[in-house]
Amino acid sequence: MTSTPPRASAFGPLERRLLLIVLAAVLPVVALSWVLLTGNAERQRSALLASARTVTTTIVSALDADFDATISALDALAASPRLREHDLPRFRQEALDLIARRGWTNVVLSTPDAQQVMNAARPQTAALQGRMDTPGIAATARTGAASIGNVLYSPRLNQYTYSVKVPVREDGKVVYVLTAVLATARAQALMRQQDLPPDALLTVMDRNRTTTARSLDPARWVGRPASRTLTTLLDRSNSGGWAMTTTLEGRPVYTLWHQSTHSGWASAIGIPPESIEGPVRRQYALLAAGIAASVALGVIIAFIVARTILRPAKQLEAAALDVGRGVAPTIPATTLPELRQVGLALGQAHREREQHLASERQLRAQEQEARVAAENANAAKDEFLAMLGHELRNPLAPIYNAAQLLPHVAADARKVRQLSTVLERQASHLTRMVNDLLDVSRVTRKIVVLQKDTVDLNGVVPEALEQVQALAADKQQEVRMTLAAEPALVHADRTRMIQVVANLLQNAVKFTPDAGQIEVRVETDAQQVRVTVRDNGMGIPARLLPQVFDLFKQGEHGLDRHHGGLGLGLSLTRGLVELHGGTITAASDGPGQGSTFAVTLPRITSA
């Protein structure tokens, strides 16, 4: 079947390819323009937000500084000798002087139950009735610490005020609470000192989210709760940040806020969306115009250049077919860098394809290796199960026989004791095997809980040696112990360290013939402590040394299982050493040449 050539059009496939090439050349310019324009817009927005964030932080810091200064002044007034002498008229005069200097509204001295004792705004001869801010005064008296009150309306002063309270102690006990009453105009004055961004709305709130000062229409809103959206935002995250909220007038604004960890008061600044998003939209419009102009230029260039690259384009077609067949493509000989880049891209595609095929072949080989490893692991499992069955049968047979004999020798106390000893010994053997299996499981899964402390290995080795002394004596083996000349201190679990050394000694006793020699040595240097166990036993073949710490390995043995055991000891030992951040190594010159096991742990210089 022959194919019908496609009908030519004013803007055919070649032109489209050329347009893509032109666009590829234009895209870096477009991308750079996008980065510069959007980056500039983002910088403008970030600068505006940073300026607003600085304002919120500054006003809160100014309020905290004013609170601290007020607390210091109250503390100084509380220390007045006039108050200690209960000379309230002269103390009131000192309070009036302080009010004049600090610009406060009033100073009140109250008992811990909020009963007024002295009110600077009223003559000392006037009767003082009623209580003022009972919860706040009680809290200050209870905690014994200065506190910042919330905004309250004062009918007597006919204005909104807030207070700062300090405890007055006598003989270590809070006997009075001294309160400075400040008008919200004080916070309003601090706000007017701030340099606000254009059209921004700044609000200061107390801990109850009540408006304390406001840059817009304060007479209307001071003393009222902040907007519901702002209150929800502050309650959800009081650490500061920014989000979209609605003002008390109902206008949506971007809001940045900051809350004092000292007083609990917060400031929030609202910026209209247009102030932030307007410059960004204008920058995007400029970017869109630039992209449109670039595309138009690309179309024109595609038409102009199309007729000059037909032959290289055909060569590119042939190169693409070569790539599909797995043949290295021929790069067109052309002076047009765009077409040559396409040819180079085809060459790269061919190389990547070959690399992918080589990777697939490698993966298949790895899969085969993994299958072989799995089969070997399965065989090891089967071998372990057979070995476990054999090891379990050894103690179970005496247990069964002793159980069968017990009813028949019940009258013979000596034989009953002998059979009980057999049962106890074999049950203990079973318990050790189960405990080894559980320990290996825990170590493998790294769930062993270590009780680490400062441990001297000079004391650990003798304790471990006691556990194998009887077994070594039965085989008439000589066990020599050499301790370090100075403390061999490590950060370790003492019980587990005894277990590590005991496992190595038991391994040496097991695989060393009668009348053999075993040496255990503790050595130190500036950085490490090393415990070495050396024997002149059966040794380890070189090909088995890399596997000596693997699970269920005991070297080569026949069906008689002369040495017994599940082959867990060295694997468990390595796991425990690694959990302590140490290393363990095995060395042997070959069969019949003995073995050397060395445990190395980081040394600590003092307890």
Which tens digits make up the pLDDT trace of 332-341?
777 667 767 7
**Three-state secondary structure call for residue 583:** strand
pLDDT above 90 for 324: no
Question: What's 204's DSSP letter?
Answer: E
Taking 90 as the threshold, does the pLDDT of residue 177 lie above it?
A: yes
The pLDDT score that the predictor gives to residue 563 is 47
Residue 96 to residue 82: CA distance in whole angstroms: 14
The C-alpha atoms of residue 359 and residue 303 are separated, in whole angstroms, by 43
Confidence of residue 276 (pLDDT cuts 50, 70, 90): confident
pLDDT at 88 over 50: yes
CA distance 188 to 203: 9
pLDDT, tens digit (0-9, with 9 covering 90-100), for 562-577: 444 556 778 889 989 9
Position 129 confidence tier, pLDDT thresholds 50, 70, 90: low
Q: How far apart are CA 485 and CA 524, in angstroms?
A: 9
Residue closest to 533 by CA, chosen among 551, 511, 515, 554: 511
Q: Determine the Cα angle at 202 with ends 201 and 205, to 5°.
A: 135
Separation CA 369–CA 364 (nearest Å):
9
Burial class (CB in 10 A: 0-12, 13-18, 19+), 342: buried
pLDDT score recorded for residue 598? 96
| Cα distances (Å, whole numbers) of residue 4 to 1, 311, 545 | 10, 21, 73
Mean pLDDT rounded to a whole number for the chain: 82
Extended strands (E) in 220-368: 241-246, 252-259, 266-271
Q: Region 173-179: what's the mean pLDDT? A: 93
Contacts of 528 (CB under 8 A, 6+ apart): 600, 601, 602, 603
Report the distance separating Cα 103 and Cα 521, nearest Å.
82
pTM over 0.75: no
SS3 257: strand
The residue among 465 and 324 whose pLDDT is bigger is 465
Query: Residue 579 pLDDT > 60, yes or no?
Result: yes
* Distance separating alpha carbons of residues 26 and 521, to the nearest angstrom: 76
> How far apart (Å, rounded) are the C-alpha atoms in residues 556 and 103?
96
Domains and CATH numbers, the chain: 10-308 (3.30.450.20), 448-602 (3.30.565.10)
pLDDT (average), residues 63-86: 92
Which one has a higher pLDDT value, 263 or 406?
Answer: 263
Beta strands in 483-572 (DSSP E): 489-493, 517-524, 528-535
Rounded-to-integer distance, Cα 80 and Cα 73, Å: 11
Q: Which long-range contacts (CB under 8 A, 24 or more apart) does 386-395 make?
A: 387/552, 387/561, 387/566, 387/567, 388/566, 390/561, 391/433, 391/561, 391/564, 391/565, 391/566, 392/430, 392/433, 394/429, 394/564, 395/426, 395/427, 395/429, 395/430
pLDDT > 70 in the chain, percent:
80
Give the whole-angstrom CA distance, residue 480 versus residue 440: 29
- C-beta neighbour count of 582 within 10 angstroms: 21
Number of residues written out for the chain: 607
Distance between CA atoms of residues 199 and 204, nearest Å: 17
pLDDT above 90 for 457: yes
Confidence of residue 8 (pLDDT cuts 50, 70, 90): very low
Which residues have CB under 8 Å from 447's CB, separation 6+?
Answer: none
Q: Which amino acid is at 505?
A: L
Residue-wise pLDDT tens digits, 519-540: 999 999 999 999 999 999 999 9
